[in-house]
């Protein structure tokens, strides 16, 4: 009787241990999901669902230790400290120049000398034949102001618009979430290494795939923020100066007036020649008719009348 009672006691303890391990595995998954989401309710629900599916799993003897380590890490989680402000700078310039290709080459050289690069570029002509170019320049934040001054000096500044956006809080938040998500992925991998049943592995693999996708998304956000805060964007529009005969551009000089007068004289002379060429056929026909009329009248005047004596 004593032996039978001891056997039943051991059997009940074994069942209790297996049930406790399943509950601890579910708790570890749930805690891991809470920490990975950083307070996001959607990720918490997914983690809780995975924990419910794994509630009856057996063979996760190391789940208790993983859950304990999880609570310690999540309880002491701190946001990373970043020094300095993280700012996105953008500027738009419109400059009127005499030679658009030359000014465009100078703008490219200014950006490249400052350690930047040239982005999108387009060139066109308006209805009056004046050339226009638009180029996007990316330059380091440290040389942003110097490049702006250099571009403004290429011609006559028509318009300037500069914007500054402080994204320090966003950068800190993304860095914190990346750190937390990496720890979450590492913990799920530890649970996979300790899993002994196929159902455990399948459940944890699904959870790992979801958390790795979230981590990749966060890393892409961090890379985009780093690019926008380390390099400033300048959009430069170059327009050719208006011709003097159009009444635009700078104040005219004596040479400009002389040139304009000569152009007007040549233009008027050309129109006179064109008009004469257009009238010439009609003038020739009129002269021919006049000549015929004169001959007829002369013959009539010299012909003797019927009453004259023989």
- And the tokens for 281? 């056929």
Could you read off the pLDDT of 175-186 as tens digits, one per residue? 999 999 999 999
* Long-range residue pairs from 32-40, CB within 8 A, at least 24 positions apart, any chain: 32/70, 32/184, 32/187, 32/188, 33/184, 33/207, 34/74, 35/70, 35/73, 35/74, 35/77, 35/180, 35/183, 35/184, 36/180, 36/181, 36/183, 36/184, 36/185, 36/211, 36/214, 38/176, 38/177, 38/180
Q: Which CATH number fits the domain that encloses residue 136?
A: 3.30.70
pLDDT bucket at 24, cuts 50 / 70 / 90: low
- And the tokens for 6? 């001891």
**Tally of domains in the chain:** 2
- Based on its alpha-carbon atoms, the radius of gyration of the chain, rounded to whole angstroms, reads 45
Helix (H) or strand (E) holding 8: helix 2-37
Same-domain status, 119 and 174:
no
Q: CA 139 to CA 230: how far, in whole Å?
A: 9
Residue 162 lies in a domain: yes
Could you read off the pLDDT of 156-177 as tens digits, one per residue? 899 999 999 999 899 999 999 9
Same-domain status, 155 and 96:
yes
- Residue whose C-alpha is closest to residue 60's, from 203, 212, 210: 203
pLDDT at residue 129 greater than cutoff 90 = no
pLDDT value, residue 173 = 93
Q: CA 45 to CA 41: how far, in whole Å?
A: 6
Question: Which residue range(s) make up the domain with 195?
Answer: 11-65+169-227
Same-domain status, 54 and 156:
no
Same-domain status, 173 and 157:
no
pTM: 0.49
> Does 10 or 108 have the greater pLDDT score?
108
pLDDT value, residue 139 = 93
Q: What is the mean pLDDT of the chain?
A: 74
Same-domain status, 92 and 136:
yes
Mean pLDDT of 43-64: 39
CB count within 10 Å of CB 111 equals: 24
Q: CA 40 to CA 180: how far, in whole Å?
A: 12
Q: Give the end of a domain, one of 178, 206, 227.
A: 227
Mean pLDDT of 129-158: 90
Residue 55 lies in a domain: yes
Same-domain status, 196 and 136:
no
Residue 20 lies in a domain: yes
Same-domain status, 19 and 144:
no
- And the tokens for 66? 């993983």
- Residue whose C-alpha is closest to residue 138's, from 114, 155, 122: 114
Same-domain status, 190 and 52:
yes
Sheet of strand 131-140, all strands in order from the earlier edge strand to the far edge: 117-125, 131-140, 231-240, 87-97, 156-166
pLDDT value, residue 270 = 86
Same-domain status, 128 and 236:
yes
Same-domain status, 202 and 99:
no
List Cβ neighbours of 241 (8 Å cut-off, separation of 6 or more). 96, 97, 98, 130, 155, 156, 248, 249, 250
Q: CA 234 to CA 134: how far, in whole Å?
A: 11
Q: Give the end of a domain, one of 216, 240, 264.
A: 240
Q: Give the end of a domain, one of 184, 208, 240.
A: 240
């Amino acid at each position: 009787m004593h032996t039978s009672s001891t056997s039943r006691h051991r059997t009940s303890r074994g069942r209790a241990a297996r049930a406790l391990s399943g509950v601890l595995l579910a708790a570890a998954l749930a805690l891991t999901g809470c920490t990975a989401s950083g307070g996001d309710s959607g990720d918490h629900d997914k983690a809780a669902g995975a924990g419910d599916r794994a509630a009856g799993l057996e063979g996760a003897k190391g789940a208790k230790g993983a859950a304990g380590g999880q609570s310690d890490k999540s309880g002491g989680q701190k946001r990373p400290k970043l020094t300095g402000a993280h700012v996105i700078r953008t500027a738009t310039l419109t400059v009127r120049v005499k030679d658009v290709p030359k000014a465009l080459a100078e703008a490219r050289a200014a950006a490249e000398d400052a350690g930047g690069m040239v982005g999108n570029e387009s060139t066109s002509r308006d209805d009056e034949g004046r050339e226009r170019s638009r180029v996007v320049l990316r330059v380091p934040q440290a040389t942003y102001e110097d490049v702006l001054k250099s571009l403004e000096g290429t011609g006559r500044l028509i318009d300037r618009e500069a914007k500054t956006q402080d994204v320090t809080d966003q950068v800190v938040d993304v860095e914190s979430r990346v750190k937390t998500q990496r720890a979450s992925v590492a913990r799920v991998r530890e649970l996979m290494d300790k899993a002994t049943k196929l159902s455990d592995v399948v459940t944890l693999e699904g959870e790992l795939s979801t958390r790795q996708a979230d981590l990749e998304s966060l890393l892409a956000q961090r890379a985009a923020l780093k690019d926008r805060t380390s390099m400033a964007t300048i959009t430069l529009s170059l327009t050719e100066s208006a011709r003097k005969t159009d009444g635009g551009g700078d104040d005219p000089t004596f040479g400009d007036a002389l040139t304009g007068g000569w152009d007007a004289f040549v233009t008027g002379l050309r129109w006179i020649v064109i008009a004469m060429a257009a009238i010439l056929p009609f003038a020739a026909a009129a002269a021919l008719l006049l000549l015929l009329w004169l001959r007829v009248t002369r013959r009539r005047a010299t012909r003797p009348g019927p009453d004259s004596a023989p």
